[in-house]
Structure 1
């Protein structure tokens, strides 16, 4: 039967249907099932350490140019105690479709590790990428960090507190740029027993806050936030950006008036991004000189 709905109405209807389906099942499972993979070349479960969780997946376009590709190392969220790289195929497809090589890393989670040991795997993953990504047609001199939610906190800490990369003989200035989606950067006081356990002891909780390590010498940072986020309050983004600006560091903020916490990553998925500027905003920022 022919669809007689006007195209804008059809798009709104599709978006509503997807939103309904997302609410009824695991969002990533549905989004990944709707992702075209014919243009993706995948290298799965590459070890960057000895632990079973120290594994990463690499995604690149099927057609590779002679020039090495800029790289995005993505850290997913999950409250520091859950998550899997296999859930984020839709993120990889979005960024690969714009000509980037994408690395998605698993990392050890609470209760296996607590902060600050949580930072060891992100640093190791970045070190592995710098050393080996040229073997996969990536440019080791153009490696961006990107994260959503807890993953954005990890990426921000690598960008702002030099001690974690120093442990792998690197420094934040070797990060081409950091993209944070709905990140917790200034989230004290801790309000749940689980968070208090992850970031214990209380006397050192402040060391988990990216905002406490701003000195103006950070790599360029793009902080994106949904104003309807009730999981990570938008003030985290605005407070961090203000501190970086005050110290003279490079930062840009983009806010989305109607987006909530999940939207800030789900809008990258092909079924949803046609009505969103999120992917365009990220790519435009990464393409800026310097």
Structure 2
């Protein structure tokens, strides 16, 4: 097992090179009694070079980029297939996934149309220079007035098939309620390791915190939301930044820098916080352990403890709670992909560390109900309601029209592999 000191040294080298070589910029930011805006400017010093990356492409350049990216994706898919193998359990899950997508296709088609035609959606905004460092912004019509609350959403996808557009339903719901939503994309395996994904998530969060005001967002009202694998990445990024703020020392998963006091809250949705327990669970279901072992490796060595939010929460530095926002963990009780114990254990660990934490258990909800079926089937959207309740401080009960026949939604639930 790679030592935590060695892993932290790797991150410290990358972060110290952007703040002057000795880490003093972050230590000054985390220990200063100055305002939150002053700490923000210190944390974002290394992000200034990202201001003007959105350069329009000519039609020829756009076509060339599309062809190159298609070729790259095909190569990555073949490499991923070699890790997955052809086990019968995995093939059964693939067939169920195809049926699931077919049943929900009427709703998906409506969302695809909205995603590509709505003036509220600003697609593929560049937040960094690495591959897939892009985000989608959902900006309400009244954003010109400014001071709107902001949600940063980190989507799931088993660290292999995540994509920013998976957050389109949530983005649309919250945008219609007057919230700016930034859905982050990040490298997936085999294009990147878990550390690469953490770097992308930190870079995206730092960009949003620094830039969202120009889109009408209030930088003092920002919530971080992570779902499934995105919950693991977002929570680990938050815990790492809070640990750095508490100790003044760089830790694994904390580069580039941003200050956790900039967040008003964290919402985890079916998050994969206990990686060791998850590895055994997924192996039994056909997603073989060698794949997760490879994703969660550092320098060729499996590093579940170093990359597990549960382990970080159980071993907090002194005064961690002073830098952590309130945490809400949502989890369906019939989740087949990530056991509900993942959220319960993390909440217990955070509470023991003095962090304000609560769990919202949702009876009979699966891994995807909160993100997809609830939103497509009409009626109440529990996820968006819960996030809005965190923002407004009052109970929210929505009643949305159906985007997909309820019979098809029920059938999709019956074959759902998640």
SS at match of 1:242: helix
Cα 1:52–1:202 change in 2 (3 A) is closer
Is 1:161 aligned with 2:240? yes
Q: Cα deviations across residues 31-81 of structure 1 (Å, max 9, x unaligned)?
A: 343348487612111111123411111111123362411111111111111
Is 1:266 aligned with 2:363? no
Question: Which of 361, 369, 377 is residue 255 of structure 1 equivalent to?
Answer: 361
Conserved 8 A contact 2:274-2:310? yes
Question: Which of 268, 283, 305 is residue 180 of structure 1 equivalent to?
Answer: 268
Question: Which of 43, 54, 76 is residue 122 of structure 2 equivalent to?
Answer: 43
Computing the radius of gyration from Cα coordinates, the structure with the larger value is 2
Question: Which of 303, 312, 320 is residue 213 of structure 1 equivalent to?
Answer: 312
Please state which structure has a larger fraction of its residues in strand.
1
Task: Report what 2:209 is aligned to.
Answer: 130
Structure 1 residue runs of 5 or longer lacking an equivalent are 1-19
Matches within 5 A, 1:62-141: 62-64=141-143, 66-141=145-220
Task: Report what 1:150 is aligned to.
Answer: 229
Structure 2 residue runs of 5 or longer lacking an equivalent are 1-95, 242-250, 281-288, 395-418
SS at match of 2:142: coil
- The alpha carbon displacement at 1:113 in A equals 1.5
Question: Which of 174, 191, 198 is residue 295 of structure 2 equivalent to?
Answer: 198
Q: Cα deviations across residues 120-153 of structure 1 (Å, max 9, x unaligned)?
A: 0000001111111111111122221112110111
Question: Which of 110, 115, 137 is residue 34 of structure 1 equivalent to?
Answer: 110
SS at match of 1:34: helix
Between 1:76-85 and 1:167-176, the stretch displaced more is: 167-176
- Distance, in Å, in 2 between the alignment partners of 1:80 and 1:111 is 9
Question: Which of 377, 392, 398 is residue 287 of structure 1 equivalent to?
Answer: 392
Q: Cα deviations across residues 52-111 of structure 1 (Å, max 9, x unaligned)?
A: 411111111123362411111111111111122223321111111221100111111111
- Distance, in Å, in 2 between the alignment partners of 1:26 and 1:222 is 33
Cα 1:157–1:21 change in 2 (3 A) is closer
Q: Cα deviations across residues 157-200 of structure 1 (Å, max 9, x unaligned)?
A: 12212246753332222222111110011131533110000012
- Distance, in Å, in 1 between the alignment partners of 2:103 and 2:327 is 27
Conserved 8 A contact 1:76-1:151? yes
Conserved 8 A contact 1:42-1:58? yes
Please state which structure has a larger fraction of its residues in helix.
2
Question: Which of 211, 221, 227 is residue 333 of structure 2 equivalent to?
Answer: 227
Q: Cα deviations across residues 238-289 of structure 1 (Å, max 9, x unaligned)?
A: 00001111122111211111101111211452x3351453322221122239
Conserved 8 A contact 2:374-2:380? no
Cα 1:53–1:223 change in 2 (3 A) is same
Task: Report what 1:25 is aligned to.
Answer: 101
- Distance, in Å, in 2 between the alignment partners of 1:249 and 1:85 is 29
- Distance, in Å, in 2 between the alignment partners of 1:27 and 1:208 is 36
